[in-house]
Every structure is written in C-alpha cells, then in structure tokens.
Structure 1
Amino acid sequence: MSKEEKNENLIVLKLEHLPAIMKLQEEILASLPSSDLYAPFSSHDFSRALGEQDQGFSLGVFVAERLIAFACVLFPGEGEDNLGYDLAFPAEEIRRVAHLEEAFVHPLYRGQKWQQQLFGERRARIQAMGRYRHLCTTISPFNYYSIKNALAQGLVIKKLKRKYNNQWRFILHQDLQMGHVLPVPSSLTKVVVDQRKKLEETRLALLLEQGSIATEVSRDDDHYTFTLLGKHR
C-alpha cells in the first residue's frame, strides 16, 4: 500500500465509531500474552478521546470498511492524571501536555508501519494546534515492541512508576520544541535488565530516579539492554 493510499484510509474518528473501536480493543486485548501490558479504555475514556468537550481526538484506519487500527490523544489539562505531574513539570507547563493514549493495530495488519503513521499524524496535528509542547505516554516495561517504536519516534523514557491498577509503567516524554534533538549528556550508560527480576531493584530504576533518560533499547531473550543518557549539562 502506497503512502498516498494510507493517508486516504486514515480518518478522524467520531462518536459514531465507538462500537467499532471497542470491538477492536477487545480483539487486541484477547491476543495479548498478558493482560498487564495494557490498561484498557472504557467507553467513557474513548468518548473523551473522540472529541467530547475538546478533550482529545482519535485517528482510525479503515480497510474495506473495517477498522483495523486506531490511536487516541487526550488533553488532560490540570487534571490529576496529567503525566506532567509525575515528571515534575513546572506549573506553567502542565496545561501544555498532550497524552498519547491507546494505539492498536489488528494483528493481521501489523508490520505495515501503521503505528509510525499514526504517531506521525498525531504529532503533526498536536503541533498544528500551537498550544501544546509536551507529548507524554505510558508503556508497560514488558511491552518491548511498543517501547522500541516509541523511542524510535523520538520519545525518551524518563520515569518508572506504578500507575494503573498498581502496574509498572515507563513514562515517556518528547519536547516538541526540541524535536529529535537530545540534551548533551554528562554520561552514557548501557544497562542490561533481566525481565525476570523485580524492576524496582534494577540499576535502570536507580538511574531513572537519579535523572537519566533512556533513549534506545534492544532485546536478547529475557534481557533488555537500555542506553541511558546521564543528566544533561
């Protein structure tokens, strides 16, 4: 499928698409090896991300009139769920945060770069609004492909924290004013994480807590290798 054809299949979703979204979410969740990888959205969550009261927007991909992928954005404002609070943003930056939320692709259509397409389109729309500076999202530390895709798009891991249902989540961030430009680090470290061990006891958790950011990841069986940049100069 050409890039032009992909753009034609990608639309802004509306409330009328909610049943198709819920159905696709159910199909995706049923295919996951662990329910801990995602915190599913409720119909209320999706209604917010479908433009209710300008709280967000959602993009979808249709093939033969079937929804095969979607991605959501929420604008948390000063709500307590704003990830800017977790990242200790100054008060004046809190309202400039946009959340990259659910992003699913049906298993039969994976490998066609829909995740990248949806990410790029969401970022472009957010930038065009001119009101938001910070993209934030959460990803399970055990969801390798989502982590790798997010880092490849320029987000960085800034924090490891228990979030939804007390599950561990990486909190990732991208400063739209910086783009893909990373701060000059004071150090560069490679950290190997055994996924069978407690995350809070790993060196990765310690370095993130000390202010390092993770920018790359690779995998070998049960071990993830992260590249971390120390506090910038």
Structure 2
Amino acid sequence: MEKLTFKFLGKKHIDKIYELTSEVYEGIENKEIFSHDSKSDLEHIIDNGGAFIGVYDGDKLVAYRSIKVPNDEENLAYDVDFYLDPKKVIINDTVAVLKEYRGKNLQNITREKLEEKYKDSNFTHKMSTVSPKNYHSYKNTLDSGYMLVALKKKYPDELCEEGYDRFILLKSEDIDFDFTGEEVIINASEIDKLKEIFASNYFGVSVDDKGNILFKKVKSFDRFIVENE
C-alpha cells in the first residue's frame, strides 16, 4: 500500500466517484445508513458551490468526502428548534471509504480538509446527518467538535416513504451554547427516549464505545427558539 494522498476533485472525476459510491453501497449490509447519490446529484454538488476531496492510494481512488451548499429543501437549518441563518449553513454530505482502507481516520481527515477549504467563507454553521445505527460515523463527528442537536426522519425513498431516522449534527462558529449542568445518558438504540430528550433542550456531546450518548441541557435555550409567525 502506497502513501495515501489527498486532492480536491472536479466534474471530470464524477464517474470514479460514482463507481466508488456504488462499491461501498453494495458492501453495506444495512442499506438505510448510506444514501447512494446519482451522477446528477454528484454533479449538482459541484455546480452549487460544494466540493469533493478524494483519497488516493497511488492512482486508485479509495475514499472521498463531499460537502454541499444546500438548497432550501436540503437545508438542515429548518430541522432544528432554534434559529440558524440558512444562508450560513454548509453540509458535510457523503463519505465513502473502501473496506480495506477503514480504520485510518479518513473520515476525520477528509472532514478537516474540506472545512479548512471553507474556513474564511460565510458558511459558519457546519452541519451533517448520521444514522443512529451508524455508530462509527457519529462518534467520529462528535469527537471532532460537533453536537447532536435533533433527530428527524430524512431521505424518504421507495422502500421507506416516511424516511429514515437521522441525527442532525452541528458545529457553529457563531453560537456559544451554555449548559445548565444537567446531564443524562441515553443509548442510541432508544429512539423514543432520544426524541424526548431533544424536545427537552438537550444536546448530545459525546458517546462511549457501547453507544451511550451523553446529553447536556442547554442554558437560556429560549433565545434560540424560532418564533412562530
């Protein structure tokens, strides 16, 4: 195995990105944890101001991550119970890593490189979605400074019209959330309890190796609530 290298990808790389996406998707037993984008979806990310970073072993693309500038329908600002300026949201989208290259911290490294690309932009709210069943992904994201701020049904398809459970994660440069000191631990498998705790103004800040998530209650949360017109 040669030394891995990283480079930003363009539309000329879409076929390779799509092939890698398909290979990773086919190897996942639980298909609901991974969304398989079409080639047009992948091109749209670039056309709309987003980016891809690829990981190469020699000349072989072995992993990639994408980040997207969302349209209104995709914008995760509307999935939380406090105000975020939707124009400042950018979304960490898909990460795909071939099986033999997992365990090399590529999820975190590629996230950091993409966030660095947008460091001096107006996108001060970094967001993402992760399945509660995808432990490694949300642990990696929490470890890199994000918080779990909501649990919603997302990405409906022909197999599940209501969509799939997804954590909404946030790392904001604009908001310093204060906490009351109240804490609770809930396992990621307890979906009903998770919904209740999010509704009670708790955010998830860390998780142990058994999927037990530490939630902290937000102080002065009311000032972030979106007022109904």
TM range (shorter): 0.7 to 0.9
Q: Could you tell me how far 1:184 is from its partner in structure 2?
A: 3.0
Unmatched 5+ stretches in structure 2: 157-162, 221-229
Contact 2:133 2:188 in 1 (8 A): no
**In the alignment, which of 16, 21, 27 is matched to residue 20 of structure 1?**
16
**Identical-pair percentage:** 22
Letter in 2 for 1:118: T
Relative to structure 1, the CA distance from residue 211 to residue 134 in structure 2 (aligned partners, 3 Å threshold; closer, same or farther) is: same
> 4+ residue runs of structure 1 moved beyond 3 angstroms?
88-91
Q: Could you tell me how far 1:176 is from its partner in structure 2?
A: 2.5
Deviations 1:114-145 (A, max 9, x none): 111101111111113x2111001000010000
Relative to structure 1, the CA distance from residue 207 to residue 89 in structure 2 (aligned partners, 3 Å threshold; closer, same or farther) is: closer
Q: Could you tell me how far 1:183 is from its partner in structure 2?
A: 3.0
Unmatched 5+ stretches in structure 1: none
Letter in 2 for 1:216: S
TM-score (norm 1): 0.85
2:207 is matched with 217
Q: Could you tell me how far 1:194 is from its partner in structure 2?
A: 6.5
TM-score (norm 2): 0.86
Residues 1:61 and 2:60 aligned together: no
Contact 2:93 2:128 in 1 (8 A): yes
Greater share of residues in helix: 1
Deviations 1:150-196 (A, max 9, x none): 00010100000111121000000000346xxx63311342323272x
Mapping for residues 163-202 of structure 1, pairs under 5 Å: 163-165=154-156, 166-177=163-174, 183-193=177-187, 195=189, 199=191, 201-202=192-193
Q: Could you tell me how far 1:33 is from its partner in structure 2?
A: 2.2
Across the aligned residues of Structure 1 and Structure 2, the Cα RMSD in angstroms comes to: 2.0
Mapping for residues 83-98 of structure 1, pairs under 5 Å: 83-88=76-81, 90=83, 93-98=85-90
1:10 is matched with 6
Q: Could you tell me how far 1:101 is from its partner in structure 2?
A: 0.2
Letter in 1 for 2:79: D
Alignment coverage as a number of residue pairs: 214
